[in-house]
Amino acid sequence: MKMNPLAYGVGWDEVIADPSLGLKQRSLVTDAARALDKAKMMRFDEKSGNFYCTELGRIASHFYIQYSSVETYNEMLRRHMSDSE
């Protein structure tokens, strides 16, 4: 990311403001953690910055299930479904 920041969507103004790109890296990780938390693939505690695995996330990682597939699964699955659904 430091060698070619433009390839990662980082502007020169961000490189000048933060040469180590630590803030950009942290924001990328935080955004990804929020998305995975929303998909119930992991739990993210923003106060402490800790990540916690969930069974769904563990299964998805073991079987290489994509994030988009897990999102679809979460949308289609409801708590009280009939046998025909």
The mean pLDDT of 35-53, rounded to a whole number, is 95
Residues 70 and 56: beta-carbon distance below 8 Å: yes
* Better pLDDT: 84 or 24: 24
Phi/psi zone of residue 49: left (φ > 0), alpha (ψ -120 to 50 degrees), beta?
left
Dihedral of CA atoms 47, 49, 55, 57 in degrees, nearest 10, equals: 120
9 falls in which pLDDT band (50, 70, 90)? confident
Give the separation between CA 49 and CA 78, rounded to whole angstroms: 30
pTM for the model:
0.79
**Over the stretch 55-82, which tens digit does the pLDDT of each residue have?**
999 999 999 999 999 999 888 887 666 6
Residue 46 tokens read as 């923003």
pLDDT at 85 (0 to 100): 63
